[in-house]
Structure 1
């Protein structure tokens, strides 16, 4: 059921976008508009997506690390609907001939590393004719040498060099690389709790258009294997394994409280929104959060963007939503927080000095929905509310001898990010052309998170 919904949603989204075939570069192209209402429903079987085994089987059934090579290809896809022509897409696959949308399902085993070398075989220009603001950091990516890509495993727990940092992109044949690129070979330790994950393109400013073009796929993290003479090794999901006893969220564990404010900015002298920043600073500013490995923090996430919901996503860490409260006299509080920077970056950005608790007094406390009460990496923050999150910067499952440490050096590499996970807002660090789509007007930026070591020495990195 879940697999069917995932595949069906992916196929509809990519089909709608993929009928527009152009050379990009911000120019309007001829676009065949899809009238989905004219397509008969439920006439196609879901495509049989290839499965790639992300582990090896040695003598006597012993599991060993798996080695995969997965490429990104410019190809044609005929399986969106029987009444639609073949559609040009970007697709993941072990080869161009086997590339699919969604990409192949990678099956990984708990505790057995999966090593994936991601290869870029994309053309010099994007296939979707969506323009973007030339002032975006993404505008010059690749310098015309090809479409930049970098793959992120959403919900994965891995070193930041394998996390798909948005500025670790690379083009075909490595003709150009981003400032945080180190290698296309990624290692996923698979030591987190078993679950269904997904992988997707994560290049700065291009995530939305590349996912719409087809660059996404499923990653199944299983808990154990069973063997039979006919089937060999195969993953098995046990209810008992999936219902492991995880630590109960306890706010008293927090070593620090941070205030994360979301701001929307408008064109000077108008109500026309142009961009959105976290904490009033752009992505290129110095790192703002340096949590310590093995600790938990309280994050008071303040949504001051009027009528917009924002699904906040944190890489590497997990969090529990403790409560969500409505602000009173929001305009007064926002004016204090933004100060004289109502049409640009900066501002006071001091929740305590602006009396956040006073503006919460008498406000509604919204119940956290039952399905949102577990450990998560995404939560939808309602407008004009403050969501209190207990963010855990340590493995969810404790193993003997790890004492709250991850099985890799979290201070190595470019660091981790948190961001709004609405793709248009995630992409547009500064602005977005208003004619593209209405939700583009309200945009978001990344903020990088770097860990300090146990001595509290923060590792810094140039943006």
Structure 2
């Protein structure tokens, strides 16, 4: 069957809050070898309904499910995963052969899984150029030596990451440790992963990938575009679902797995966003694990690839309905170029507090977490990275770059294992960018506004540095840098020597060409 002829079909809307939230199943090992648990995961094409009112869609998924199965791992217990490429020879979507990594004679269908947020050897990192084709497999080792965290895995194949992830190749990896397990936190049925994405489908249920220029102009089928925003919210593979809950605390592992959309989340008891009655919740963890102390919030911003570990207490809301809403502009943080306003997705899912409370209801008790703030004085070097966009004669994007370099340009950053460095991302573009580093977890030092008229002649700051918000004051592997802003992070290079990458996690940007390699040496 041919790939979807993107621009020939019209996107549709469907009735929201009609279907139950799917809960991804847990994967179990098929055996052990010298005490190491062994897993096998096969990526394959399958069909499934994204909504009960739609026919089944063709999707790609790990173990033929979307999202993929949930890994549960324990700190200090390494595992090995055999990743098998069981995908067809033709892609679900047309591949743009003009961008790096996808040019002929490279095969159309390739995959390479990346465990996002994990500290692994380079050979198991899922480097984008280490793809493999249908019928091939790779065995990766995950040492699980870091602290408990909400990690996730997704495809990372060079030049087609946006297409493979959009087709369905992503899933959760929950790493636990004894500190986290010793806390009184909601667990089992009361700990639920939430993968937030956006998708576009037509009346026959076909998944459509329809990127555009920044001005909203449609692109020819198969051509790369700098923006993609689906018109339908998808949570755990279902369009605008609902979840029945008990009036008690729940723990949600929230992941922004969208290609490019930011989510600014609220839990609203009101009828809609124009009648807000927001419910407070506790964020207890971020990308790299538990925060030093819980942060009390009623609004949560997540860029693509960011995670939040939150506790929502429904105890006082029996018989009521809360709607998970999104107020983030797309593109984020929002601009009025050509007066274009992409289709928002203001309502993601519902929580219906309709179940009776079961026995053994435990109180939530988040104990203080051992946490050491990095000292800026320990940094041995500061590196600056300028984020800039190339445009054509009409002002339309030809791709976004870091320091004007593409992924295939020679390595320019070599760091020493065991040292701490300061990395500064200088954003000269109109978009906010979620910047992600492989191998490491880092701490946000601060953000500062800079004078764009004086730059690049001089980097001149305006106003005082802004420290991270309470819910960002932990370990991170992805952080947002807004337009006209410098994001400064402290990065301890721990774990392994070898080749790794850093990039924007807006997948359209990553694919063309906002990604660079770096090398760790001993």
TM-score, normalised to structure 1's length?
Answer: 0.68
Counterpart in 1 of 2:391? Answer: 266
The structural deviation recorded for 1:240 is 8.6
Shift of 1:143: 3.1
Tell me the residue number matched to 2:502.
418
Q: Counterpart in 2 of 1:303?
A: 427
Residue 284 (1) aligns with residue 408 (2):
yes
| Equivalent-residue separation in structure 1 for 2:379 and 2:446 (angstroms) | 15
Is the aligned partner of 1:246 residue 2:371? yes
Q: Note if contact 1:54-1:106 (Cα within 8 Å) is conserved in structure 2.
A: no
1:86 counterpart (56, 60, 65): 56
Q: Which residue matches 1:136?
A: 100
Q: Does the 8 Å CA contact 1:103/1:217 hold for their aligned counterparts?
A: yes
**Structure 2 residue aligned with 1:35:** 12
Which structure shows the higher helix fraction?
Answer: 1
Give the conservation status (yes or no) of the 8 Å contact 1:55–1:113. Answer: no
Contact kept in structure 2, 1:259 and 1:301, CA below 8 Å: yes
Hey, what does 2:36 align to over in structure 1?
A: 65
Structure 2 unpaired stretches of 5+: 183-190, 192-250, 252-289, 291-363
2:168 and 2:45 mapped to 1: Cα distance? 10
Deviations 1:199-224 (A, max 9, x none): 10000111111111111111111225
User: How far, CA to CA, are the matches of 1:270 and 1:31 in structure 2?
Assistant: 25
Work out whether 1:450 is the aligned partner of 2:425. no
In structure 2, do the counterparts of structure 1 residues 41 and 420 end up closer, same or farther at CA, with 3 Å as the change threshold? same
Q: Aligned partners of 2:86, 2:411: CA distance in 1, in Å?
A: 33
8 Å Cα contact 1:254/1:298 also seen in 2: yes
In structure 1, what is the Cα distance between the partners aligned to 2:88 and 2:60?
A: 10
CA offsets, 1:344-392, max 9 Å, x none? xxxxxxxxxx322xx21x4353442221121211110011111111111
Q: Report Cα offsets for 1:122-168 as digits up to 9, x if no partner.
A: 11111124x52524322336435xx1000000111100110100000
Alpha-carbon distance change, 381 to 40 in structure 1, aligned in 2, over 3 angstroms: same
SS state at 1:318 partner: coil
The match for 2:158 among 186, 189, 204 is 204
Alignment of structure 1 residues 373-412 onto 2, 5 Å: 373-394=473-494, 406=495, 409-411=496-498
Which residue in 1 is equivalent to 2:89?
124
CA distance in 2, matches of 1:195, 1:132: 35
**Number of the residue aligned with 2:463:** 363
Q: How far apart are 1:48 and its partner, in Å? A: 4.2
CA distance in 2, matches of 1:55, 1:380: 39
CA RMSD of aligned residues (A): 2.7
Give, in whole Å, the separation in 2 of the partners of 1:124 and 1:56: 30
Q: Which deviates more from structure 2 when the two are superposed, residues 257-266 or residues 238-247? A: 238-247
Shift of 1:255: 0.7
- Residue 211 of structure 1: SS of its match in structure 2? helix
Task: Mark the CA change 1:274 to 1:192 in structure 2 (over 3 Å): closer, same or farther.
Answer: same
Higher strand content, 1 or 2: 2
Taking structure 1 as reference, are residues 255 and 364 closer, same or farther at Cα in structure 2, changes over 3 Å only? Answer: closer
Q: 1:281: Cα distance to partner?
A: 1.4
Task: Give, in whole Å, the separation in 2 of the partners of 1:48 and 1:106.
Answer: 13
Contact 2:445 2:467 in 1 (8 A): no
Residue 69 of structure 2 aligns to a residue whose secondary structure is strand
| Mapped pair 1:108 → 2:73 | yes
List gaps (5 residues or longer) in structure 1. 1-20, 94-98, 175-182, 227-234, 338-353, 395-405, 430-443, 454-463
Aligned residues of 1:193 and 1:242 also touching (Cα < 8 A): no
Q: Distance in 1 between matches of 2:399 and 2:7?
A: 28
Q: For this pair of structures, how many residues does the alignment match? A: 342
- Superimposed CA distance per residue, residues 236-275 of structure 1 (whole angstroms, 9 cap, x where no aligned partner): x9999985412212101101111111111222x5533322
Distance of 2:500 and 2:482 partners within structure 1 = 24
Equivalent pair of 2:78/2:142 in contact (CA under 8 Å)? yes
Contact kept? 1:55, 1:65, Cα under 8 Å: no
CA distance in 1, matches of 2:139, 2:368: 32
